[in-house]
Amino acid sequence: MAKVRSTSLVIAAFFSIYVIWGSTYLLNKIAVAELPPFMLASIRFICAGLIIFILCKVLKIPLAITKLQFRNTVFAGFLFLAFGNGVVVWALKYVDTGFAALEISAQPLVILLMMRFLQGKKIKPMSLIGVVFGIIGIYLLVSQQQIINQENSVTGMLMIFGCMISWGYGSLFVGNADLPKNYFVNTGYQMFTAGILLFVASLLFGEEWSYPSQWSTKVQYTMVLLIVFGSIVAFTSFNYLLRKVSPEKVATSTYVNPIIALILGWYFLDEKISGQSIAAAAILLTGVYFINTTRKFGKSARALK
């Protein structure tokens, strides 16, 4: 029964990071059109962290952690959320949701290369094929004239690439770091401390803050969805999976996220989907598939324990 329960949790967690995170591109795009990016992200993560702490108290889950665990959660929170997410929200001011999701779909490629150069792990032949596909897909994606000609679009692309590096290093870091054993507690500390860091960044950048009562109804609902589902549910699932399966398996969420983001951006925001973007997506995701296929069977047993 324990094995069945563990398998069910893994499946539910993957659904969460696949579908819910795919929709957060749309939600952030809607909110950042009205709110400053670091303020938006700060409120989202501070609120989510506080809610998690309250739930832990209600469920009688101990919040006490060691100094080392606290330092590690702050560092992980910075890599994943303060920089990794906060800057993506900023970049969405300059690029479409579908484009951002497609660029981020190259995350497994980034992780693979970081595992090679930082951990010395060899790249297998099938993964090399994936790297080639990935590079071609990224080139097709970012070389589109209608995107390059948009104001500040190149800045947005570079910002997202920086976030991918941050997320990639974070994924490798948490795999071996001493973090709180409870995934809920781990998520709470990462989110709350990241929210504080984003608050400081917002002040340093001179962002103008406002009360929720001053926001439009659409943005108010969007923030609730981002806090509850995009933050608490999805990020707890993400932390859970990083301890249960390999980092490159967790990165396979990029198979589905771009598709969800493209469809929602087209339907709700009337974003255009070019033929070159579709071709880039097909080639890029094929590369991601090759990168992950070589590791799929060897680690499946560990993933289900």
The per-residue pLDDT for range 54-65, each reduced to its tens digit, is 999 999 999 999
Query: pLDDT tens digits for 112-142?
Result: 889 888 888 888 888 888 889 988 988 888 8
Decide if pLDDT at 302 tops 70: no
DSSP for residue 35: S
Q: What is the separation of C-alpha 208 from the centre of its chain, rounded to a whole number of angstroms?
A: 26
The identity of residue 200, as a single letter, is: V
Among 293, 284, 247, 238, smallest CA distance to 262 is for: 284
> Per-residue confidence at 301, pLDDT binned at 50, 70, 90?
very low
Radius of gyration of the chain from its Cα atoms, rounded to whole angstroms: 19
Concatenating the DSSP letter of every residue in 235-282 gives HHHHHHHHHHS-HHHHTTHHHHHHHHHHHHHHHHH-----HHHHHHHH
Query: pLDDT tens digits for 148-158?
Result: 777 888 899 99
Longest dimension (CA), the chain: 56
Quick one: average pLDDT of 252-263?
Answer: 81
This prediction's pTM: 0.84
**Gap between the Cα atoms of 289 and 276, Å rounded:** 20
The identity of residue 258, as a single letter, is: P
**Gap between the Cα atoms of 300 and 305, Å rounded:** 9
Q: Domain containing 24: what range?
A: 2-303
Count H helices and E strands in the chain, helices first: 17, 0
The tally of domains found in the chain comes to: 1
Query: pLDDT tens digits for 63-110?
Result: 999 999 999 999 999 999 999 999 999 999 999 998 898 888 888 788
Decide if pLDDT at 207 tops 50: yes
